[in-house]
Amino acid sequence: MNLHCTDDQMKRMAALAVNASFPAGLGFLHFRQELHVTADDIPLRGDVIVIDYYEGRMVKFRARKVGDDTWNVPDRISGEYESWITTYDSYQHLFDAVTKESA
């Protein structure tokens, strides 16, 4: 699925996903409840944002820039790994949350 959004909006989506995620497995050893991630904390590597685990949180966030202000994200998420699904049920829901913040 393609989303029309800026790099900053995508980084804010990733930050929301991280903040909504919880630890799994050995991630409990690195988990800090008080952690609050912002867009500035999200690494943009070229045209890709991939966050597997973040400070022990099982995030599994993936986005690839495919054009000017256009990002490709998975159409569906399983919830088996994306622990942020308990707060945001899709990438579209993350996008809607970010655009509401901006309004």
Cα-based distances in Å from 88 to 8, 18, 34:
19, 11, 20
Helix (H) or strand (E) holding 12: helix 7-20
Partners of 34 in the β-ladder: none
- The pLDDT of residue 4: 96
Give pTM, 2 decimals.
0.91
How many structural domains does the chain have?
1
Provide the domain limits for residue 86. 2-102
Q: How far is CA 13 from the centre of its chain?
A: 5
- The pLDDT of residue 26: 65
DSSP letter at 79 equals S
- pLDDT above 80 (res 12): yes
- pLDDT above 90 (res 99): yes
**Six-digit token pair at 7?**
């790099």
pLDDT digits (tens, 9 = 90+) for 36-72: 999 999 999 999 999 999 988 899 999 999 999 999 9
